[in-house]
Amino acid sequence: MAYSTFRNSRIQIILLILSLYYCRATVDVSSDAFIKGHMKPLGSHREPLAVEELTSIPNPKTFYDLYTKPGKPVILRNAAKAIPAFSLWTDEYLSEKFGNVQVLVEEGKKENRSKGNFMTSLKEFVSSYKTEDLYVVHTIPKEMREDIRMLPCVSCGGFAERLLDIVMWFSSGGTKSVLHNDGSENLNCLFRGSKELIMINKNVNYNALFDNSGFSNMDVDKVDLKKYSDLMHMDLYKAKISAGDCIFIPQFWLHQVRSFDSNLAVNTWWAQLFKFNETSCQQNKGDTYLNPAKYEFATYEVLSFRMAQCIIIYIERRNQILGVMSKHKKATKQGFKKILKRSDVGPIQFSVVFSAFDSNKDDAISFDEVQELPYEQLSKLFPNWQYEPEGEEEEMEPQRDEL
């Protein structure tokens, strides 16, 4: 009896072992079922980190020191509510006052850069946007900028002197951007609806996620974590903003954005500020909402597409040089030659370039001297950085990343 019981127990153990072995052999633990978040919306595979939030607008120096200089995103709760457009820009107001303004409309609220766009009047868009798959993405014309204000945190210190563009984003909600980055600083203020952003730090090596320059082709609704496996090892940040909030997105931070409900936002782009100009804050104490209608932007509205691209590229190139020399107050001739080589400027006449930058003729190049050289002179010194578009020059709006 005891032997029979022992024999049966041994048989059961053997069968259990064989069963476990069979299961292991027939189930691929690397299959889709074992990859958390595979073929699900971006951000589903891991718990995201929170973006810092402030309930009051910081002064320009604090904003520079804590957020723009280190490249750290921040949400400014209720910061947009003092901007006139927050209350004024109803559908009726926009249609009545700015109905004849021509705006660029993108086809498809889920961003697809192979789709087209077209121009129409704002009045026509307002009459149809609630029932059609359309999205206004347009540089705000000067007459509409009278209703906009820039936040006090960028009212002095040099921010206003580096403005690139101010853009309106208008839809019935349901928009989904690609995962992308911007080559400039970005402050987005939301007047209607809500937005949700998934973000990745610019200091992470995220090149494996890109199929194209500046953005990824991944389906943000069904992320293939086998193809984009590097994503599983990256920290994600998540931000949710509502009507009245603003969010600062530092340049080169990856972000993917979804919008909900009737959605209207305005964002301002500016070139990275490497040095805060405290002198400019002596008259303006940093508590002023600047009127953008009084400032010049390197917009596609004012400039041809080609010229605007040239200016933006040279701003980025200048920033590239400044980034390489950011740890040095001055560079000698030999040091500056190494900096230019690292910046990949191409063939140049170094003696001519050095002389142009060395404005005080002390045989050294300072950070300020690089920053202050005019765009026109910069473009002549580095002809191999020249932007050459394919085909004929066009007077039109470029494709922009969704916000």
Question: Is residue 251 located within the same domain as residue 358?
Answer: no
Residue 394 lies in a domain: no
- 33-81 residue pLDDT tens: 567 889 999 988 889 999 999 999 999 999 999 999 999 999 999 999 9
Are 241 and 381 in a shared domain? no
Calpha distance 140→265 (Å, rounded):
11
Measured CA to CA, the distance from residue 333 to residue 339 in angstroms comes to: 10
Q: What is the CATH number of the domain that holds 370?
A: 1.10.238
What is the percent of the chain with per-residue pLDDT over 90, rounded to a whole number? 43
Three-state DSSP string of 203-217: CCCCHHHCCECCECC
Of 169, 217, 226, 221, residue with least CA distance to 198? 221
Is 341 within a domain?
Answer: yes
CA distance 348 to 323: 20
Q: Are residues 319 and 294 in the same domain?
A: no
The tens digit of pLDDT for each residue in 254-283 reads 999 999 999 999 999 998 888 898 888 887
Of 287, 302, 317, the residue that ends a domain is: 302
Total number of domains constituting the chain: 3
Report yes or no: 347 and 318 within 8 Å, Cβ to Cβ: no
> Does 381 fall in a domain?
yes
Residues 345-401 have pLDDT tens digits of 778 888 888 888 888 889 998 877 887 776 656 767 776 664 444 344 343 344 444
Rounded mean pLDDT of the chain? 82
Task: Summarize the confidence of residues 185-213 as an average pLDDT.
Answer: 91
Q: 120 and 59: one domain?
A: yes
Please report whether residue 239 resides in a domain.
Answer: yes
- CA-CA distances (angstroms) from residue 108 to 73, 117, 135, 198, 381? 28, 9, 7, 20, 42
Q: Where is pLDDT greater, at 285 or 153?
A: 153
- Domain assignment present for 399: no
Domain end marker among 271, 302, 333: 302
List, in order, residues 6 or more apart from 281 with CB less than 8 Å away: 60, 61, 156, 157
Over the stretch 81-93, which tens digit does the pLDDT of each residue have? 999 999 999 999 9
Mean local confidence (pLDDT), 16-22: 53
What confidence score (pLDDT) does residue 289 get?
92
Q: CB under 8 Å to 59, separation ≥6 — which residues?
A: 152, 153, 286, 287
**19 and 96 within one domain:** no
Q: For residue 112, give its domain range.
A: 49-302
Buried b (16+ CB within 10 A) or exposed e, 333-359: eeebeebbeebebeebeeeebbebbbe
Radius of gyration from C-alpha coordinates of the chain: 26
